[in-house]
Structure 1
Amino acid sequence: MGIFVKVVNEGSFSAAARASSLTPSAVSKQVGRLEDRLGARLFNRTTRHLSLTEVGRGFYDRCCQILVDVEEAEDAVANLHAAPRGTLKLNVPVAFGRLWITGLIPEFMQRYPEIKLDLNLHDRFVDLLSEGYDLAVRIGDLEDSSLIARKLAANRRVVCASPTYLEKHGSPKKPSDLENHDCLIYASRAFRNDWRLDGPDGEETVHVNGAVETNNPEVIMDLIGQDMGIGLLPLWLVGPAIKAGKISEILPDYHVPDSAIYAIYPPGRHLSPKVRVFVDFMVEKFNLPENNFI
């Protein structure tokens, strides 16, 4: 099949022979054997011209795809055994990166010393293909995309406040009670003033308001700690403070619809080793019992 495709691409038996380091007669014999096995003529031959038959054109298209598949299958096997190396350019949201990624870097680099990590922390939406990123971590619902997404962990969000705030202002008993409280608004959410909560009576949407609005969830957490109001935050951010008793989860019978944390990367027949090992490493670490806030 490879010789047949080479003849078509080069335009003649002699040119294909030169490109393949074979003699013209050897190329002709290979094509003849292929025609005999198929029971069909692939070329129309004259002394001056070589052209594909109708059968040959259809066979050529299939051969091209088969040869590509074979090459990629061999590359995939080779990549599984190849040591991951090269620069891995990664984009991660700021707060999540600081809390959950940077602390894992030393172990990752120790495991894979031939990888160089180019870690970019910012919250803007990046175009992986045009900006040259190998991988990004994204949190929440994903837009329809040609990118490949692998779930790393759930992204559970909770309604919470400081114990002192709740002592002063009372603890909400139902979602509608939030309308009478100072709520800290996360400006980066599409429906920032509308909090959706699932409870015993189904899903409810509460329109909340407050004196402070910010695009940084860590700021909201800090303000909650200063008794400034009620926030809606992901458990990966606020979980340790809840466990320590510094912040209280409220409305425990109501749950914000869960989203997820994803690793996303450009599509391809197989992952490059550096991307594959990083994603596998993150899945491993995020699913350890001690990291149950993710």
Structure 2
Amino acid sequence: MDLLALADFNLVARHGGFGRAARATGRPKATLSRRVAELEAALNLRLFERGARALKLTEEGRALFERAGLLLTELEETAAAIASGGEKPRGRLRISAPLLFSQTAMGKIAAGFALKHPDVRLEVTTEDRAVDMIEEGFDLVIRVNPAPDESLVGRAFLHDRLVVVASPRLVKPVACEAVPAVLRGTGDRSAWKIKTSAGQSSIAVEPILSLSSLVMVRDAVRAGVGAGRLPLSLVSRDLSDGTLAYWGDIDGPPITLWALYPSRRLLSARVSAFLDYLKQAFPKGTPEELAGYIGK
């Protein structure tokens, strides 16, 4: 198989068209079209559906794009490592991270990583949705309690848990009394099942505010408007200095942050370096470590 033709196919697939690929790279559009046609002829497969206005990958084309992109990246990184005499991280590293982790810690992590690895151009996108790593071109994603995905592997690097907290001025309810509550979003409004050293119990809630960010929820709870369910790392300092009072742990699964990347035999030096940096930032992976990192 012609590697140059494969590289040009990957280029066109990534940019979504011959014209876009040509404009982005300065390559002649006719050359890209010819190379892709030669590749299709060699494979005896149609890789693109060519419409009047749009170019769309066929099922076979999408499969080739997903696999070829990884292989070409590995070849480029291997060549760069040989040329530089070592596996020094370099090049672009695209990461997708969830909102709360980005707001509280990612900026400092990214800055520290950039100072340590100046040859890596780090790009971080913040979003809570489950991105398609291959389709959207991410090298690594950070996700909270991700669903199993056979196309990805990863490492759990941080653990947290949800706790119910409130201003010390707010009296903890007894029996079946409902407590004013600050919720994230407009989802589940059922009673909160909590556990403490004294045992398990349930707290009925009366929603007062619905906010889209956990940082906003924390700030509203601090102001005394109601109780809230928040990650321990986010309120650890408030509990220590008495700004907030602890009512109990949410009785449910723990919060685990994972760093995920495509399953492949050769992991890029850039991704390996970032995984190592996360391990250095959170050697034990505890909520207290994240709380300390947030407060720096």
TM-score w.r.t. the length of structure 2 is 0.62
Q: Would the aligned equivalents of 2:120 and 2:270 in 1 still touch at CA under 8 Å?
A: yes
Q: What amino acid is the match of 2:184?
A: Y
State the partner residue of 1:291: 289
State the partner residue of 1:161: 166
Q: What amino acid is the match of 1:96?
A: F
1:184 and 1:214 mapped to 2: Cα distance?
7
State the partner residue of 1:223: 220
- Residues 22-64 of structure 1 deviation map (CA, whole Å, 9 limit, x = unaligned): xxxxxxxxxxxxxxxxxxxxxxxxxxxxxxxxxxxxxxxxxxx
State the partner residue of 1:129: 134
State the partner residue of 1:213: 210
Cα RMSD between the aligned structures? 3.2
1:207 and 1:150 mapped to 2: Cα distance?
37
State the partner residue of 1:180: 178
State the partner residue of 2:14: none
2:164 and 2:127 mapped to 1: Cα distance?
25
User: Aligned with 2:206: secondary structure?
Assistant: coil
Give the C-alpha shift of residue 192 in structure 1.
Answer: 5.4
Q: What amino acid is the match of 1:258?
A: P
**Equivalences for residues 43-54 of structure 1 within 5 A:** none
2:189 and 2:272 mapped to 1: Cα distance?
35
Q: What amino acid is the match of 1:161?
A: A
Distance 1:238-1:199 versus aligned 2 partners, 3 A rule: closer
Give the C-alpha shift of residue 153 in structure 1.
Answer: 1.0
1:172 and 1:256 mapped to 2: Cα distance?
21
Give the C-alpha shift of residue 200 in structure 1.
Answer: 6.7
State the partner residue of 2:109: 104
1:188 and 1:118 mapped to 2: Cα distance?
31
1:201 and 1:241 mapped to 2: Cα distance?
22
State the partner residue of 1:281: 277
State the partner residue of 1:144: 148
1:145 and 1:194 mapped to 2: Cα distance?
32
> Size of the alignment, in residue pairs?
211
Q: What amino acid is the match of 1:260?
A: T
Give the C-alpha shift of residue 244 in structure 1.
Answer: 2.6
1:188 and 1:125 mapped to 2: Cα distance?
20
Q: Would the aligned equivalents of 1:193 and 1:209 in 2 still touch at CA under 8 Å?
A: no
Q: Would the aligned equivalents of 2:186 and 2:210 in 1 still touch at CA under 8 Å?
A: no
Hey, which of these two has a bigger chunk of strand by percent? 2
Distance 1:267-1:206 versus aligned 2 partners, 3 A rule: farther
2:186 and 2:137 mapped to 1: Cα distance?
25
Unaligned runs of 5+ in 1: 1-67
State the partner residue of 1:241: 238
Q: Would the aligned equivalents of 1:196 and 1:206 in 2 still touch at CA under 8 Å?
A: yes
Give the C-alpha shift of residue 160 in structure 1.
Answer: 0.3
Give the C-alpha shift of residue 238 in structure 1.
Answer: 1.7
Distance 1:131-1:195 versus aligned 2 partners, 3 A rule: farther
Give the C-alpha shift of residue 95 in structure 1.
Answer: 2.3
Q: What amino acid is the match of 2:149?
A: S
Give the C-alpha shift of residue 158 in structure 1.
Answer: 0.9
State the partner residue of 2:54: none
Q: Structure 1 segments of 4 or more deviating over 6 A?
A: 200-205
Compare CA radii of gyration and give the structure with the larger one. 1
Deviates more, 1:115-124 or 1:238-247: 238-247
Give the C-alpha shift of residue 125 in structure 1.
Answer: 2.7
- Residues 249-284 of structure 1 deviation map (CA, whole Å, 9 limit, x = unaligned): 1136x6543121111111111311101110111121
Give the C-alpha shift of residue 134 in structure 1.
Answer: 0.8
User: Aligned with 2:138: secondary structure?
Assistant: coil
State the partner residue of 1:113: 118
Task: Say if 2:280 is the partner of 1:270.
Answer: no
Unaligned runs of 5+ in 2: 1-70
